[in-house]
Amino acid sequence: VTSSGDFLLTVLSGGTGTSKLLQGLSQILKPEELSVIVNTGEDVEISGLNVSPDLDTVMYALAGIVNEKTWYGIKDDSFFCHEALKSLGHVELLRIGDRDRATKLYRTLMLKRGKKLTTISKELCEKFGVRANVMPMSDERVQTRISTENGVMTFHEFWVARKASDRVLGISFDGVDNAKPAPGVLEAIEVADSILIGPSNPITSMGPILAVEEIREALSRDSGRVVAVSPIVGDAPISGPATVLMQGLGHEVSPLGVARIYRGVAGTLVMNSTDEKFGPSIDELGIKTVFTNTLMPDRAARIRLARELLDI
Distance in Å, CB of 84 to a copy of itself, minimum: 3
Distance in Å, CB of 231 to a copy of itself, minimum: 32
- Residue of 127, 167, 277, 299 interacting with a copy of itself (CB under 8 A): 127
Q: Site mask, a copy of itself, residues 103-122, x = CB under 8 A?
A: x-xx-xx--x----------
CB 310 within 8 A of CB 34: no
75 binds a copy of itself (CB under 8 A): no
- Residue of 77, 139, 166, 275 interacting with a copy of itself (CB under 8 A): 77
Of the pair 91, 300, the CB lying nearest a copy of itself is at 91
The values of phi and psi at residue 11, to 5°, are -110, 135
Of the pair 63, 186, the CB lying nearest a copy of itself is at 63
The values of phi and psi at residue 298, to 5°, are -145, 175
Residues that contact a copy of itself, how many (by CB under 8 A): 28
What is d(CA 243, CA 201) in angstroms, rounded to the nearest whole number? 9
Q: Site mask, a copy of itself, residues 30-69, x = CB under 8 A?
A: -----------------xx---------------------
Q: How buried is 264 (Cβ within 10 angstroms: 0-12 exposed, 13-18 middle, 19+ buried)?
A: middle
Distance in Å, CB of 87 to a copy of itself, minimum: 7
78 binds a copy of itself (CB under 8 A): yes
The amino acid sitting at 130 is V
Q: Considering all CA atoms of the chain, what is the largest pairwise distance in Å, rounded to the nearest integer?
A: 58
Binding segment for a copy of itself (CB under 8 A), chosen from 75-83, 145-153, 238-246, 277-285, is 75-83
Distance in Å, CB of 108 to a copy of itself, minimum: 6
Buried-exposed string 16-39: b where 16+ CB fall within 10 A, e elsewhere: bbbbbbbbbbbeebeeebbbbbbb
- Residue of 32, 98, 157, 174 interacting with a copy of itself (CB under 8 A): 98
Distance in Å, CB of 45 to a copy of itself, minimum: 11
- Residue of 8, 55, 124, 238 interacting with a copy of itself (CB under 8 A): 124
Concatenated DSSP letters of 50-97: EE-HHHHHHHHHHHT-B-TTTTSSBTT---HHHHHHHHTT---SS---
Q: Dihedral through CA 176, CA 190, CA 21, CA 232, nearest 10?
A: 60
The values of phi and psi at residue 35, to 5°, are -120, 145
91 binds a copy of itself (CB under 8 A): no
- Residue of 20, 101, 156, 302 interacting with a copy of itself (CB under 8 A): 101
Of the pair 65, 176, the CB lying nearest a copy of itself is at 65
Of the pair 104, 251, the CB lying nearest a copy of itself is at 104
Report how far apart the first and last C-alpha atoms of the chain are (Å, whole number): 24
Distance in Å, CB of 199 to a copy of itself, minimum: 30
Q: Dihedral through CA 243, CA 245, CA 249, CA 253, nearest 10?
A: -20
CB 257 within 8 A of CB 232: yes
Binding segment for a copy of itself (CB under 8 A), chosen from 22-30, 85-93, 205-213, 270-278, is 85-93
Helix spans in the chain (H): 16-28, 53-63, 80-87, 98-112, 117-127, 155-156, 185-191, 206-211, 213-220, 242-248, 255-262, 279-284, 299-311
- Per CB under 8 A, residues contacting a copy of itself are 47-48, 77-78, 80-85, 87-90, 97-99, 101-103, 105-106, 108-109, 112, 123-124, 127
